[in-house]
Amino acid sequence: MRSTRAFSSSRAAPMRREPVGYLDPCGGTPSEATNSLDPRASTPFEATNSLDPRGDTPPPRTNSRRPRVARGPWVPGAFADPGRFTNERLHTVQLTLQNRCMSYKSLTSPTMVTVSGPWTDPNKERPFIATLPQAGALLPSLDAAHEGLLDTQASGVETNAALAKLQRAEAVLDLRHDRKTRGVFNVLTGFADLAEDPEQAAIFLALRDEINPKGLDVTRWSYTDEAGEVELVARRLSQDQRVLLGSLPTPIGTLLDALEARIQAGRELGKLETERAGLEKRGPDATTAADAMRARNVWIRTVTAFVAILDLEMKLSETDREKLLGPLRRAESRADRRAPSAEEAKVEEAKNEPAAEAAREK
């Protein structure tokens, strides 16, 4: 049997949920509660959860991104009165230090040296900095950072000069080593040719080959190989062979004297090669790119700490502050204006990557 109940042809309108009241901890009334989905809520802090039976206010919605601070290290009052820090102010200080480090990275090494030079110069700002109760304690660190930059520039010139001097000395020793090697070899060959007794000729040739198993090829070996070979020669010769060499005359002594001169030249070559290897380990220009970057980073961290400490010097006048930090601020502004954009930096880095890779492979 058909039901006689009447049905509406349209769907029933959904029930409208009323916002649940809550007690505003700031003194509001329940009528001020709003729906969390209400588009009329002017800020996220006004929205509440209408389905929360407790009527509590949910935690305010916050942006996950950190608030941006205008670039530049100079945030007025960021470090003033450190005894009354709030979380917001501490966050501002952290961003200030970070921005300073990023800004200082755009300074060139000559600019860094120019800026920190007066701070460490006894005839300029150093005596005044030493009178500051807090900043004065950073003078040893400023000295180390300043000298570190200078060392990366000067050591390359000094080491290149030392390498050039070593190479000239090695060339002289190598020439002496090769002359004595050829002389002993050729003289023993000549004595064998002049000997009437075949057995005596064989003794001369055996002694020659004992001294130079590879013939005169040794004169074309590297300095390191020549240095090692003379040690082997000294060990291979017997006492009888040394006596024989001592009995064979030359225009300036005996063949033993000539052989000893070769051995001495080879040993000195070995010492110079060891010294040269120690210099070349530091790179072709003595100071590697990693050394220079490390010195720059030390300078940046030290100067960042120095500027922060100066902000805590309550008795430091604005005139003295400008005298100390004015050159740094002006250099920083110039560096910011000429610094390339992020995209330009990426393009330049991509261009330099093959050269950097080749340098690492060498």
pLDDT tens, per residue, the chain with 362 residues: 444 444 444 454 554 544 444 333 344 444 343 444 444 444 444 434 444 444 444 555 555 454 444 444 444 444 445 555 455 544 444 545 555 555 687 888 888 989 999 999 999 999 999 999 989 999 999 999 998 888 776 555 667 778 888 889 999 999 999 999 999 999 999 999 999 999 999 999 999 999 999 999 999 999 999 999 999 999 999 999 999 999 999 999 999 999 999 999 999 999 999 988 877 765 544 566 677 888 888 999 999 999 988 888 888 899 998 999 999 988 888 877 765 544 444 444 554 454 445 444 44
| 327, 112 Cβ separation under 8 angstroms | no
Strands 253-254 and 249-250: antiparallel
Give residue 253's region: left, alpha or beta (phi > 0; psi -120 to 50).
Answer: left
What are the sequence ranges of the domains in the chain? 165-280
| 177, 269 Cβ separation under 8 angstroms | yes
Give residue 210's region: left, alpha or beta (phi > 0; psi -120 to 50).
Answer: alpha
pLDDT for 160 equals 73
In 3D space, the residue among 133, 85, 89, 148 whose CA is nearest the CA of residue 300 turns out to be: 148
Q: Cα(first)–Cα(last) distance of the chain, in Å?
A: 98
